[in-house]
Amino acid sequence: MVVWTTGFRAPDLAREAGLAVGDNGRMLVDATMRSVSHPEVYGIGDAAAARKQDGRELRMGCGPGGLAAACAVRAIGDRLTGRTPRQLRVEGDGHCISLGRKDGLVQYTNSDDSPRGPMITGRLAAMFKEAIVSGAGGFGLRHPTLALVAASRTLA
Ligand X SMILES: Cc1cc2nc3c(=O)[nH]c(=O)nc-3n(C[C@H](O)[C@H](O)[C@H](O)COP(=O)(O)OP(=O)(O)OC[C@H]3O[C@@H](n4cnc5c(N)ncnc54)[C@H](O)[C@@H]3O)c2cc1C
Interacting residue ranges for ligand X, rule: CB under 6 A: 11, 13, 45-47, 60-63, 65
CB of 80 to ligand X, least distance (A): 23
Q: CA nearest 127: which of 92, 99, 95, 93? A: 99
Write out the E strands in the chain.
Answer: 27-28, 48-49, 92-98, 104-110, 115-121
CB closer to ligand X, 72 vs 75: 72
CB closer to ligand X, 11 vs 83: 11
The whole-angstrom separation of Cα 72 and Cα 2 is: 39
CB of 48 to ligand X, least distance (A): 8
CB of 126 to ligand X, least distance (A): 12
Please, what is the Cα angle at 133 between 14 and 155, to 5 degrees?
60
CB closer to ligand X, 48 vs 75: 48
